[in-house]
Chain A
Amino acid sequence: MILASECDVANEVICAPANVNELFDFPTIFTIGGFEVSRTEILMILAALVTVAVLYFGLRQQRLVPSKFGAAVEGLVGFVRDDIARSVIGPEGTKYLPYLMSLFFFILMGNIFELTPFINFPVTSRMAIPFFLSLITYVIFMFMGFARNNFRYFTETVWPKAVPIGLRWLVGLIEVFSIFLLRPITLAVRLFANMVAGHLMLTLLLTSGLVFILAIPDIGLKGSIGIFWFALGLFMFLLEILIGVLQAYIFTLLTAIYIDSSIHFEH
Chain B
Amino acid sequence: MEGNIEALTGALSLVGYGLGAVGPGIGIGIVAGNAITAMARQPEMQGTIRTTMFLGIALTEALALIGFVLFFIASAG
Mark A residues whose CB is within 8 Å of B: 83, 87-88, 178, 182, 185-187, 189-190, 193, 250, 253-254, 257
Which residues of chain B from 34 to 77 have a CB within 8 Å of any chain A CB?
A: 47, 51, 54-55, 58-59, 61-62, 65-66, 68-69
Q: Given A178-B62, A186-B62, A254-B58 in contact, is the A88-B68 Cβ separation under 8 Å?
A: no
Which size bracket describes the interface of B in this complex? 10 to 19
Judged by DSSP, the binding face of B is helix
In the assembled complex, how far is the CB of residue B49 from the closest CB belonging to chain A, in whole angstroms? 11
Partner of B51, one of A182, A187, A257: A257
Judged by DSSP, the binding face of A is helix
B54 and A182 form a contact (CB under 8 A) = no
| Inter-chain contacts of B51 with A (CB < 8 A) | 87-88, 253, 257
Closest to B52 in A: A257
Whole-angstrom CA separation of A22 from B71 in the bound complex: 19
Whole-angstrom CA separation of A88 from B50 in the bound complex: 10
Q: Given A87-B47, A257-B51 in contact, is the A189-B68 Cβ separation under 8 Å?
A: yes
Partner of B55, one of A87, A185, A190, A257: A257
B65 and A193 form a contact (CB under 8 A) = yes
Partner of A186, one of B47, B54, B65: B65
Q: Given A254-B58, A257-B54 in contact, is the A190-B65 Cβ separation under 8 Å?
A: yes
